[in-house]
Amino acid sequence: SSELTQDPAVSVALRQTVRITCQGDSLRSYYASWYQQKSGQAPVLLIYGKDIRPSGIPDRFSGSSSGDTATLTISGAQAEDEAAYYCNSRDSSGDLVVFGGGTKLTVL
């Protein structure tokens, strides 16, 4: 079982804002990273650290954190944002890496 908990599925209307959350005790001490995985493709890093986007990631993706919960916000969701989204971070010991179970985003 994962030490990071995500909602299995979320939906959003086109061009609206959606928040995807990731909850876990280790997030009180460590930042989460966020990945997007489209069907049949490898994951892509969207956000890491406090709210850092790698080059090429649109600025409609942003990250935040409060307490034991990290949040990925997509402001103005596009049809191409339909994908699975995963968070990861350290486990409670700080030694290992854990992924959340993933959230399947549907854009309506």
The verdict on 49 binding another protein (CB under 8 A) reads yes
Judged by CB under 8 A, the stretch of 15-23, 36-44, 62-70, 72-80 that binds another protein is 36-44
C-beta of 16 vs 106, nearer to another protein:
106
Closest distance of CB 30 from another protein, Å: 7
Q: How far apart are CA 41 and CA 38, in angstroms?
A: 6
Cα 40–chain centre separation: 18
Contact 37, 76 (CB under 8 A): no
Positions in 52-91 near another protein (CB under 8 A): 54, 84, 86, 88-90
Look at residue 90 and give its three-state secondary structure.
strand
For the chain, what is the radius of gyration of the CA atoms?
13
Binding site for another protein (CB under 8 A): 2, 30, 33, 35, 37, 42-45, 48-49, 54, 84, 86, 88-90, 95-102
